[in-house]
A = this chain, B = another copy of it.
Amino acid sequence: MTATADLATPLLDQAMARLRAQETGAPPPDATLTIAEMAERTGVSAHTLRYYERIGLLEVARDASGHRVYTATDFARVLFLTRMRMTGMPIRDLKRYVALAAAGEETIPERRAMLLARRDAVKAQLTELQFALDTIEAKLTGYGCVPGPEFKPAPLRRAEPAPAGR
């Protein structure tokens, strides 16, 4: 994809980078990573990793020279953050979530509530996206395009019953 330059979708490219990261740059066992390695493996730029730390989404140890030392836990957290960001969860909410997580067990109810809200939001988004996809394919048909020789619209299991037909 990204066939035509002016159709480039940065968000999607980043997302694909992250997917690749999840597949190829699998979480290291208990090795540590430099910021450059983290950037490469998570698909999140070093600039952005520093930014996330600055705003309190991450708390990263330093080595003797003051360089950041990322652990497997940090790696997992960055993946979590990027997945939540992908769903459109605002950074302000992620900050709150992370703060709650740092605060201890008694914040679990609120964290759970946040996740439940996010889950509902994501389900709604899936419904909407499917709706938009239907719109696109209808228009493609109008432009003399067959919906496609491919069998499955997407390699995903339908999370939701499709939104009332179309």
- Measuring CB to CB, which residues of chain A are less than 8 angstroms from any residue of chain B? 1-4, 6-7, 9, 11-12, 15-16, 19, 27, 59, 73, 76-77, 79-81, 83-84, 86-90, 92-93, 96-98, 101-102, 108, 111-133, 135-137, 139-140, 143-145, 153-157, 159, 161-166
On chain B, the residues within 8 Å of A19 by CB distance are 128, 131, 163
Task: Assess whether A112 is in contact with B145, with CB atoms less than 8 Å apart.
Answer: yes
Instruction: Give A128 to B159 CA distance when docked, in angstroms.
Output: 12
Partner of A7, one of B117, B140, B153: B117
Instruction: Give A102 to B137 CA distance when docked, in angstroms.
Output: 20
- Which among A111, A112, A132, A155 has the greatest number of chain B C-beta atoms within 10 A? A132
Task: Assess whether A83 is in contact with B3, with CB atoms less than 8 Å apart.
Answer: no
Q: List the B residue with the shortest CB-CB distance to A59.
A: B166
* Shortest 4 CB-CB contacts between residues of A and residues of B: A76-B161, A101-B164, A77-B163, A1-B120
Q: List the B residue with the shortest CB-CB distance to A90.
A: B9
Task: Assess whether A129 is in contact with B165, with CB atoms less than 8 Å apart.
Answer: no
Task: Assess whether A164 is in contact with B126, with CB atoms less than 8 Å apart.
Answer: no
